[in-house]
Chains A and B, each alone.
Chain A
């Protein structure tokens, strides 16, 4: 039997904007894996990516994601993916809007938009590829950079990072989850649940920037990073008194010589219907 090479494209090739690939991201960057998980989750919903879904991203390495997939999409200015999504959702409520952006974009320059979106409960899914650094601009500290880690702007000491799960719970998001990019087995299912949530669904998607952050902070290679994510992840145990939701129990811990030491993962809140 002879192989027809024209049929060997990626299993998701018809969902990818092939002419834009290979993408600009560094070797081993979590962003590509995350993007694939997102597409797989979107496919699982059974919706038409082009006609029923819109993927909106901001600025930074993650910002470029919307250009690589066959969702309707928009690459907005820095920090503004959420307000753009609010406009789309109110313009055509039949569209599912997915915001896919980084920690600097969503929680530094765009932080105000996030808390108001969570309060307002316009139906949207917000996925933060949280790699604790500004990668595209060369490795500056972001709002989720860990306390004793090295970036180009925090050589001695960094301030306390945001716990994004805690922030999202406090602001009133309807669905709050955290996984890592290495959870590509379960993530599509979680993303599907997030998309199907009526209201604001938020996923803190712990990701790696091996090229810049990892190299300086304990996960120098991509294969080490993937193992590190899986080893450090601890599934939350739901406690009746809700204590599993306390800030100290949802906090991610990190050691600049070894990488992640504890990543509480799971679904922290599901909307009550």
Chain B
């Protein structure tokens, strides 16, 4: 992963974030219901809503490079969509969380 790189699979978007680029901001797209609460609570305007929809028909948040991994949005999200992990805990071969 390089700076502001994003990895995706059929369920997750994972963004490399934080001042030292050692955090991973995760969007579990399938659970998102597009309510925009995350966008409105983020103190750093780091989130925007997607243009395409999820399988269930909702727009979902996209990280724009400003995320500091402060976790406000994930506490606010009503659908357990968002999380922040330490990079070393979620890489292949890394330590397990």
Contacts of B77 in A (CB 8 A): 32-33, 36
Q: A5-B11, A37-B75 are in contact. Are A226 and B40 (CB under 8 A)?
A: yes
Q: How far is the CB of B63 from chain A (nearest CB, A)?
A: 14
Closest to A27 in B: B33
Say yes or no: A4 contacts B12, CB within 8 Å.
no
Closest to A33 in B: B78
Contacts of B92 in A (CB 8 A): 1-4
Q: Considering the chains assembled together, what is the distance between the CA atoms of A22 and B79 in angstroms?
A: 7
In the complex, A21 has a CB within 8 A of chain B: yes
Q: Considering the chains assembled together, what is the distance between the CA atoms of A156 and B6 in angstroms?
A: 53
Q: How far is the CB of A242 from chain B (nearest CB, A)?
A: 33
Pick from A23, A27, A29, A32: contact of B58, CB under 8 Å: A27
Interface residues on A, range: 35 or more
Closest to B89 in A: A7
Q: How far is the CB of B88 from chain A (nearest CB, A)?
A: 9
Q: Considering the chains assembled together, what is the distance between the CA atoms of A61 and B45 in angstroms?
A: 31
Say yes or no: B1 contacts A1, CB within 8 Å.
yes
Q: How far is the CB of A250 from chain B (nearest CB, A)?
A: 26
Pick from A5, A10, A12, A28: contact of B78, CB under 8 Å: A28
Which residues 8-65 of A sit at the B interface, judged by CB distance below 8 A? 8-13, 16, 21-23, 25-33, 36-37, 40
When each residue 168-183 of chain A gets 1 if its CB lies under 8 Å from chain B and 0 otherwise, what string results?
A: 0000000000000010
Q: A7-B85, A27-B58, A226-B41 are in contact. Are A16 and B80 (CB under 8 A)?
A: yes
Which residues 70-97 of B sit at the A interface, judged by CB distance below 8 A? 72, 74-85, 87, 89-94, 96-97
Please report whether the interface of chain A is mostly helix, strand, loop or mixed according to DSSP: loop
In this complex, the member of A8, A37, A223 whose beta carbon has the largest number of chain B beta carbons within 10 angstroms is: A8
Which residues 14-73 of B sit at the A interface, judged by CB distance below 8 A? 14, 24, 26, 28, 30-31, 33-37, 39-41, 56, 58, 72
Say yes or no: A12 contacts B80, CB within 8 Å.
yes
Which residues 122-177 of A sit at the B interface, judged by CB distance below 8 A? none
Q: Considering the chains assembled together, what is the distance between the CA atoms of A27 and B92 in angstroms?
A: 34
Q: Considering the chains assembled together, what is the distance between the CA atoms of A32 and B97 in angstroms?
A: 24
Pick from B28, B35, B80: contact of A28, CB under 8 Å: B35
Say yes or no: A184 contacts B76, CB within 8 Å.
yes
Q: How far is the CB of A160 from chain B (nearest CB, A)?
A: 30
Q: How far is the CB of B29 from chain A (nearest CB, A)?
A: 11
Say yes or no: B90 contacts A7, CB within 8 Å.
yes
Q: How far is the CB of A86 from chain B (nearest CB, A)?
A: 30
Ranked 10 nearest A-B pairs via Cβ: A32-B78, A28-B35, A223-B40, A27-B33, A222-B35, A184-B75, A7-B90, A3-B7, A11-B83, A2-B92
Name 11 A/B residue pairs within 8 A (Cβ), A-sorted: A2-B1, A3-B1, A3-B7, A3-B14, A3-B24, A3-B90, A3-B92, A4-B91, A9-B28, A221-B36, A223-B37
14 new A-B contacts at CB < 8 Å, known A3-B1, A13-B80 = A7-B85, A7-B97, A8-B28, A9-B83, A10-B82, A11-B74, A11-B84, A21-B80, A22-B79, A32-B78, A32-B80, A184-B75, A222-B35, A227-B40
